[in-house]
Chain A
Amino acid sequence: DIQMTQSPSFLSASVGDRVTINCKASQNINKYLNWYQQKLGEAPKRLIYNTNNLRTGIPSRFSGSGSGTDYTLTISSLQPEDFATYFCLQHNSFLNTFGAGTKLELK
């Protein structure tokens, strides 16, 4: 099975900051990498699919990049509503795997 290593686990930042979250796969996942945002008590919401495709309605301050085994989610200028937990998901194989999550907190 493909393992996903997500970092950092916790991130403390301020409104207006630029932040990056990383996911590293145990093997090449051919850009089949999604990013999800989850707020407390809510279902996850897909932000980005296949590395860099922004879901309709998601603000352009969110972006994704990467290839091979290394992928990044960037939030260019944090807004108050962005403080949440973020997960990556590889779907290169039918046996999908998630990263462990990054909790983004207000500094």
Chain B
Amino acid sequence: EVQLVESGGGLVQPGRSMKLSCAASGFTFSNYGMAWVRQAPTKGLEWVATISYDGSSTYYRDSVKGRFTISRDNAKTTLYLQMNSLRSEDTATYYCTRDPPVGALDYWGQGVMVTVSS
């Protein structure tokens, strides 16, 4: 059974940093691209970043480019999102998702809440 479990969220002040983790199990992690998607309270879904299966390619939405870094450790089957210079508009539930070669974003974690506030 595919499982994605996010951790590392919480309350952080504007301008500070936070690192999210996503522990993956139930599939061969190193064969799949992975992505982060976020959802602000009562809002829609917003793709944040994608990383290729081997970490060689990364893609970001414009609003986080230069502030967020997606990375992975295939030996630990873990996905990361390093978030720097956080802003209030980054407040959201962040979901870890699997990004297969066919069909995109098939499995999702339960999400982790990030609140950026002073």
Contacts and interface: CB of A to CB of B under 8 A. Distances in A.
Contacts of A44: 45, 95, 108
A32 B103 CA distance: 7
Interface in B71-118: 95, 102-111
Categorize the interface residue count of chain A: 20 to 34
B27 interface: no
A78 interface: no
Interface in A55-70: 55
Interface string B46-77: 11001000000001011000000000000000
Which residue among A46, A55, A87 has the maximum number of chain B CB atoms within 10 Å of its CB?
Answer: A46
A20 B50 CA distance: 30
A34 interface: yes
A96 interface: yes
Contacts of B104: 32, 34, 49, 89, 91, 96
Contact of B59 (A55, A94, A101): A94
Contacts of B50: 94, 96
B40 to A, nearest CB: 12
A43 B108 contact: yes
Which residue among B44, B46, B102, B111 has the maximum number of chain A CB atoms within 10 Å of its CB?
Answer: B44
Contacts of A45: 108
B35 interface: yes
Contacts of B62: 1
Contacts of A46: 103, 105-107
B47 A96 contact: yes
Contacts of A95: 47, 59, 61
Given A43-B95, A43-B108, A98 B45 contact: yes
Contacts of A38: 45
7 contacts: A42-B110, A44-B95, A46-B103, A49-B102, A53-B103, A96-B104, A98-B37
Interface of B: 35, 37, 44-47, 50, 59, 61-62, 95, 102-111
